[in-house]
Amino acid sequence: MPVSLVTGANKGIGYAIAQLLVDAGHTVYVGARDIDRGQEAALALGARFVQLDVTDDASVRTALESVTTTEGRLDLLVNNAGTSASGAEGPGALGVFDTNVVGVIRVTQASLTALEASANPVVVNVTSDLGSFAAVTDPTSRQYEIQAMVYSASKAAVNMLTVQYAKAYPAIKFNAVAPGFTATDLTEGRGRPVDQSAKAILRMAFIGPDGPSGTLQDDDGQMPW
């Protein structure tokens, strides 16, 4: 049975991803900052809870040690936790990058040993089409009109991390997926259903050993950077 960890999985897209993974027969670890909400979500999903705050090194290290000790490996990591705060002041920007970018680094680094123990290790980084230079510089695109300076920059950084990790660890498949504008707390309930976006993400979660790595994907396939 494949072992999966989804960060930020107590609600929104993360919860929908975890549900689809449980339905597919995975042993799923719901990573969440809030213990009560995380345990409640895991119970409802038929998953397992692990307390995990992507902005806290000790929390991340403890969470991955727990998963590794229990399971011996990790087959799928979905770096989903994120924030859409868009303030351009220094402290706000640092907070966005700490969650969206450094959080990905923290969790990925802590997961490497467990991933390397898998026969088919896969990492999916949840990004945004607002992190695509091609999209935001195309006057005909929807993304061209959206002003989200810090958030877009953070997701562009996630895209670069995806490429660099894919190069550094060729035995692990790393891909970034832009789920599209989705109805979550981050969008104040506007956008498409979370289940639809979760399916787009899981398309890359289920790739085999000969699947792509170091790419940016959306519903339609590979996107330009």
Cα separation of 66 and 50, whole Å?
Answer: 8
Torsion of CA 70, 104, 25, 29, to 10 degrees: 40
DSSP H/E element including 16: helix 12-23
Q: Are 82 and 127 in contact (CB under 8 A)?
A: no
Cα separation of 63 and 22, whole Å?
Answer: 19
- Count CB neighbours of 12 within 10 A: 21
Cα separation of 48 and 67, whole Å?
Answer: 10
Of the listed 15, 29, 151, 165, which one is catalytic? Answer: 151
Location of structure tokens 């220094």: 90
Candidates 203, 224, 212; CA nearest to 21 is 203
Active site residue 151: yes
Active site residues: 151
